[in-house]
Structure 1
Amino acid sequence: MKNAFSVLSNFIIVVSTAPLLLYYMLMDDRAAVHKLLERVPGRYKNGLKETLQEMDKALSGFIVGRVTLCLLLGGMVLAGFLLIGLPYPLVLALVIAFMNMIPYIGQILGLIPCVIVAFIDEPSSVIWVVVVIMLAQQIEGNILSPYIYGRKLDVHPITTLLLILVSGTLGGIIGIMVAIPVYLLLKIIVIRIYNRWEKTVT
């Protein structure tokens, strides 16, 4: 009991202090960017500043999209748990949504407590819990994810699917985690270089 209380209290402390720490980290990053721009020659300063702003906007859109997907997944799972009568549906749906921030591994970690609760309550309901979670994850991964990333990041849904498939094949879980952010940053850099080259040619 004491161990459970200790874990819970530590979790609450981390969650409550994380936004403050993130704020100061972002402030430090802005200060570092300003120092970097001060060292850049004048003719490159505006271009670099605009590029960094585009990168910041793209990564922010990716994070917002990821959080949105997790919330939608949690909503679908909650509806399914209520339908099958699983105990503690809201808590378990929140666990699924939170763990979904971690691709693939998070889905397995989120499934475990749901299966345990279902087995304790009614062993025969375990299969329905697995079906609800897998169905929600398939909808999130194959339908909602390409659509939301396409709207938030101006990336075509087919491009998103191809990125996930190729990065998963080449880099596994890590590849899937970094595929879209890396693609966004490279896309911005390539477009910037091309536009600059086009201006010099014309």
Structure 2
Amino acid sequence: SRGETNEYKVHFRNRRCCSWLVSGGANDIFGSIFMILSTTFSWFAQAFIAIVFSFLLLFNKKQVVRETKSLLKAYLPEKDYEKTRHVLKLIIRIFTSYVGGTCLECLILASLVTAGSLIMKIPYAFLIGLVVGIGALVPMFGALVAALLCTFFIAITSPVQGFTFIVMFICIQQVEGNFIYPHVVGKSVGFPPMYIIVAITIGANVAGIIGIIIFIPICSCIYQLVSEDVLTRLQKVKEVSD
């Protein structure tokens, strides 16, 4: 009969659900969720510690610089001391310029997204621009993740506007990723734009998100030092040949 058929279907669904729970399907889902949450919390905790440590160094900059100079001068020969001092000055200058260039690039991207959202009449335009700008602190991929998150919340209100926003963002991202970011950040650290992508790729493979963030200034420092060494060697070769 029809009632027996419905009862059989309900019983069959209950059995499938129980077998899925017993087989560990629920554990896999909860395990994945726990892993994602723990990884996210760990990343935010590390970022918070790094920011606090940076502020401590900033507020005690004079003392740190004075003590570092004293240690280097006490334990290094004069020639090595001057070289080490030059390298440290180069690292500080490049990292400072990198932070400034990254903040400028985030501001540009946030302004473009906000302006585009206002033109397309997408809701929460200023909030969307702020979220995408903060996400852009992670080079290349951070802004995309932030945009996908914004798309999800916009789509809850209006799927059409959510689709419009992600299409608009992809267009802006292409211009920003290929032209604005390499030139703004590359010029700020004295690093050719064509090497920016190489540095990001190496950093992602070596240290994940942290590597993506810090490998641009690290590779820029190496590039500057190698360039200086090449010029010095060429100058010596020229003097010998003359």
TMscore range, shorter length: 0.7 to 0.9
AA paired with 1:82? Answer: L
CA drift of 1:170 comes to 4.7
Q: Which has the larger radius of gyration?
A: 2
Structure 1 residues 26, 105: closer, same or farther in 2, change over 3 A? farther
Q: Cα deviation per residue 1:39-60 (whole Å; 9 max; x = unaligned)? A: 3222322222122111211111
Moved over 6 A (4+): 198-201
Structure 2 unaligned runs (5+)? 1-47
**Number of the residue aligned with 2:40:** none
Q: Distance in 2 between matches of 1:167 and 1:49?
A: 28
Corresponding residue SS for 1:103: coil
SS of the residue corresponding to residue 105 of structure 2 reads helix
- The residue type paired with residue 35 of structure 1 is S
> Share of identical aligned residues, percent?
23
Asked if residue 150 in structure 1 is aligned to residue 186 in structure 2, the reply is yes
Q: Show the counterpart of 1:100.
A: 136
Q: Which of residues 68, 80, 88 in structure 2 aligns to 1:44?
A: 80
- What is the alpha-carbon distance in structure 2 between the residues aligned to residue 20 and residue 176 of structure 1? 22
SS in 2 for 1:130: helix
1:131 pairs with 154, 167, 177, which one? Answer: 167
Q: RMSD of the alignment, in Å? A: 3.1
How far apart, in 2, do the equivalents of 1:146 and 1:198 lie? 29
Superposition TM-score, scaled by structure 1 size: 0.74
Range that drifts further, 57-66 or 101-110: 101-110
Match of 2:95, SS state, is: helix
Distance between the aligned counterparts of 2:63 and 2:122, measured in 1?
A: 45
Q: Secondary structure at the match of 1:145?
A: helix
Range with greater deviation from structure 2 (59-68 or 22-31): 22-31
Distance in 1 separating the partners of 2:143 and 2:127: 15
In structure 2, the partner of 1:35 is 70
Q: For 1:24-73, what per-residue CA distance to the aligned partner results, in whole angstroms no more than 9, with x for missing partners? A: 26455424532332232223222221221112111111111111111111
Superposed counterparts of 1:63-82, under 5 Å:
63-82=99-118
Aligned length: 186
Q: Secondary structure at the match of 2:137?
A: coil
